[in-house]
Amino acid sequence: MTKPTLGIGMAGYAFMGRAHSQAWRTVGNFFDIPMQVDMAAICGRDAGKVAAAASKLGWRTAETDWRALIERDDIHLVDVCTPGNSHCEIAIAALDAGKHVLCEKPLANTADEAAAMVAAAERAARKGIRAMVGFNYRRLPATTLANRMVTEGKLGKIRHVRAVYLQDWIVDPEFPLVWRLRQEAAGSGALGDLGAHIVDLAQFITGQQVSAVSALTETFVRERPLPSHTDNGARGQVTVDDAALFIARLDAGAVATFEATRFATGRKNGLRIEINGEHGSLAFDLERLNELEYFDATGPTVSQGFTRILVTEPEHPYTAAWWPPGHGLGYEHSFTHEVRDLIHGIAEGSDPRPTFADGFQVQRVLDAVARSAAESSGWLAVDQSDLVAGPPTR
């Protein structure tokens, strides 16, 4: 039988646009999907650049206005890969027009925008229209396996989570003031860009939600060269955080620590998460993304230790569609798995996870972190008074 066609229109063609294009281009080559993907159109404001991107990335046509994607009858799903300040407007317009939506993380720049997007997704769901937020790290075989092992009770009661996401791409104070460093475009800095990932991943693996936070944020370099005026010395203000650190409580009793920074000199994409439970622990490192570390505390102590699970067997999540055991996958495969699950959800009439409601919950955590940091609540000053001079008395 002929498969129904799913026409894709994508807004954005930079980093995430390239990653999503790779996913749409390859998903049907490796997975048995119930729909035929048609990469109908890619959209960007610069006509020349978006035309070049269409040719390079495999799209049939190019548009310069995202509204054209919504108006086209051959487009059934809008993939939003633009900066965060446009997520809300594009996604809501697409959903209200009867288009499925895949929206990159974080879902929005504010909790209020995310709430409006959830409402639009709920309206659309009543008409069979699906919406998903793109937390791609859920779709790595190792992290999906970690979720499965926690769900199966391998770790018992979860007690402690620690998660970090470390990068260094703006350590140089002369790095230009790109959109990711401006609040009006990005919403926040390391908090939303990196922190959103580790919050979602912690909640996904443990099955628990962050219920309370205490936080601090810092901006180390507060002015940078303007991208279009680097030769004449013009500079602009950095209006987002460079680093965000917070402790948290999870709703089933676990405690957690989170650190997200773009100032970890030498770290390029250092995401690591460790889950400690009463019967064992799991640890995942994105720089070794085909591996999962597992400690089984129920075995004999003489042979206990962290075991490296090479997550490349056909029985592991997603891996049967790819290469023989031991032939690892990469970063781009997480996006292919993401669109694979979305296509199945659309075809089967079910809401693929993470839903917009899941994205909204992460946004509420980010909002609470920002408010906690701004209010400096919970701080207790350390006594800095001089020590008493002289030898101790006997």
Domains in the chain, number: 2
Question: Which residue from 392, 167, 346, 121 is spatially nearest to 267, judged by alpha carbons?
Answer: 167
Per-residue pLDDT of the chain (394 residues; tens, 9 = 90+): 699 999 999 999 999 999 999 999 999 999 999 999 999 999 999 999 999 999 999 999 999 999 999 999 999 999 999 999 999 999 999 999 999 999 999 999 999 999 999 999 999 999 999 999 999 999 999 999 999 999 999 999 999 999 999 999 999 999 999 999 999 999 999 999 999 999 999 999 999 999 999 999 999 999 999 997 656 789 999 999 999 999 999 999 999 999 999 999 999 999 999 999 999 999 999 999 999 999 999 999 999 999 999 999 999 999 999 999 999 999 999 999 999 999 999 999 999 999 999 999 999 999 999 999 999 766 677 887 875 555 555 5
Residue 361 lies in a domain: no
Tens of pLDDT along 10-68?
999 999 999 999 999 999 999 999 999 999 999 999 999 999 999 999 999 999 999 99
List Cα–Cα distances, 377 to 158, 213, 245, 254, 340, in angstroms.
Answer: 27, 10, 14, 22, 43
Same-domain status, 104 and 20: yes
Distance CA 40, CA 61 (A): 6
Contact indicator for 309, 291 with CB cutoff of 8 Å? yes
Do 106 and 75 fall into the same domain?
yes
State the CATH number of the domain containing residue 58.
3.40.50.720
pLDDT at 389: 53
Yes or no: say if 282 and 294 are a contact pair by the CB < 8 Å rule.
yes
Question: What is the H or E stretch that residue 275 is in?
Answer: strand 270-277
Q: Which amino acid is at 152?
A: E
Answer whether residue 194 is part of any domain: yes
Out of 87, 106, 136, pick the residue that ends a domain: 136
Q: Give 329's contacts (C-beta < 8 A, 6+ positions apart).
A: 140, 141, 289, 290, 312, 318, 319, 322, 323
Q: Give the domain-ending residue among 274, 305, 329.
A: 329
* pLDDT score recorded for residue 386: 73
Has residue 385 been placed in a domain? no
- Predicted local confidence at residue 98, as pLDDT: 98
Tell me: do 94 and 183 sit in the same domain. no
Handedness of CA 301, 302, 308, 314 (dihedral sign): negative
- Shared-domain flag, residues 89 and 148: no
Burial class of 11 by CB neighbour count within 10 A (0 to 12, 13 to 18, 19+): buried
Q: Are residues 101 and 167 in the same domain?
A: no
Is residue 86 located within the same domain as residue 169? no
Place of tokens 């409006």: 116
Do 220 and 304 belong together in one domain? yes
Are 98 and 199 in a shared domain? no
Q: Is residue 242 part of a domain?
A: yes
Cα 264 to Cα 243: distance, rounded to the nearest angstrom = 9
Position 385 scores a pLDDT of 80
Cα separation of 98 and 123, whole Å?
Answer: 10
Domain assignment present for residue 131? The answer is yes
Can you give the length of the chain in residues? 394
**Is 99 a domain residue?**
yes
Per-residue model confidence as pLDDT tens digits over 153-162: 999 999 999 9
d(CA 331, CA 379): 39
Task: Determine, yes or no, domain membership for 345.
Answer: no
Rounded to whole angstroms, what are the CA distances from 71 to 41, 74, 98?
12, 9, 10
| Residue range(s) defining the domain that contains residue 88 | 5-136
CATH of the domain at 160: 3.30.360.10
Same structural domain, 304 and 165: yes
Helices first, then strands: H and E counts in the chain: 11, 16
